[in-house]
Structure 1
Amino acid sequence: MIVDRNKTYLKTDREPRKWYIIDAKNQNLGRLSSQIAYFLIGKKNITYTPHMKNEINIIILNSKLIQITGNKKYQKTYKRHSGRPGGLKVELFDKLQQKMPNKIIEHSIKGMLPKNTLSRQLFTQIKIYPNHIHPHSSQKPLLIKLN
């Protein structure tokens, strides 16, 4: 396919959905999240178009074993509010990692995606699991090594 450099490339044919596995074991939370967001937006593709959704699904395994640097393990807080008076809940990273390890990575990746409707669509293409077991083996996902 010949592409004219002065024209905008628009993806017309629908590509098959690609599945990738990323192992979060002993990975740094911020570095992992930024690389996943970069990959999910599609900036690694030569056909990157900012306003178009990619046919990429990402499976993140071992979210329970994510690492964080410094004393943030005991200092970093996650806040949520029920909307009612006195409904503020504050949890530390350490406690949240034991109860809901997927929420930590979800929160981090969501913060690194652009704030628009496309990012909400892209976020549905991420599947996060606390251990190495996942139900997506029939999609034949490819393992990605992130540095």
Structure 2
Amino acid sequence: MNKTIVPAIDSIEKKWYVVDAENQRLGRLATEIANVLRGKNKASYTPHLDTGDYVIVVNAEKVVVTGRKSEQKLYRRHSGRPGGMKVETFAQLQKRIPERIIEKAVKGMLPKNSLGRSLFTKLKVYTGPNHPHEAQQPETLTVNTIAGGSK
């Protein structure tokens, strides 16, 4: 009978990665980030454990979407009060809070439970090229997408 090997939580090494979102497609970038946060890029991946790494995203305001999604893609939030629905397009939200676009895309790709909520805390998103995590000595994570595609 085969036994499932569960890695000890102490033995899992957590790395820090930095991703430049400039000219990256939103969905493809978010899937790569979600895989690293979950730890699916490691041999020690275990679905019910936090085996993932930390991810820092810089230049969040320069992420792109294809087609007419900048005018058509809608982001909704509700205050909880009657008539409290607020709707914004991608372009409006990118001007106001560009970090939220990447955060919402990645959060939707994580598990909808307490594990997903704890994984989401390991995502750090910033506008501009600077971030306050230099002490962690993050490695550069390259995302294999090329923006622009054929139109």
Q: TM-score, normalised by structure 1?
A: 0.93
Structural mapping, 1:77-88, within 5 Å: 77-88=74-85
Among candidates 62, 67, 86, match of residue 65 of structure 1? 62
Q: Is the 8 A contact 1:9 1:47 kept in 2?
A: no
Among candidates 109, 112, 116, match of residue 112 of structure 1? 109
Match of 1:8 in 2: 4
Match of 1:137 in 2: 134
Local SS of the residue matching 2:3: coil
Aligned-residue sequence identity (percent) comes to 49
The root-mean-square deviation of aligned C-alpha atoms, in Å, is 1.3
Aligned equivalents of 1:16, 1:26: Cα separation in 2: 30
Among candidates 38, 50, 56, match of residue 53 of structure 1? 50
1:17 deviates by: 2.7
Aligned equivalents of 1:70, 1:141: Cα separation in 2: 33
State the one-letter code of the partner of 1:89. Answer: K
Match of 1:102 in 2: 99
Structure 1: which 5+ residue stretches go unaligned?
Answer: none
Q: TM-score, normalised by structure 2?
A: 0.90
Structure 2: which 5+ residue stretches go unaligned?
Answer: 145-151
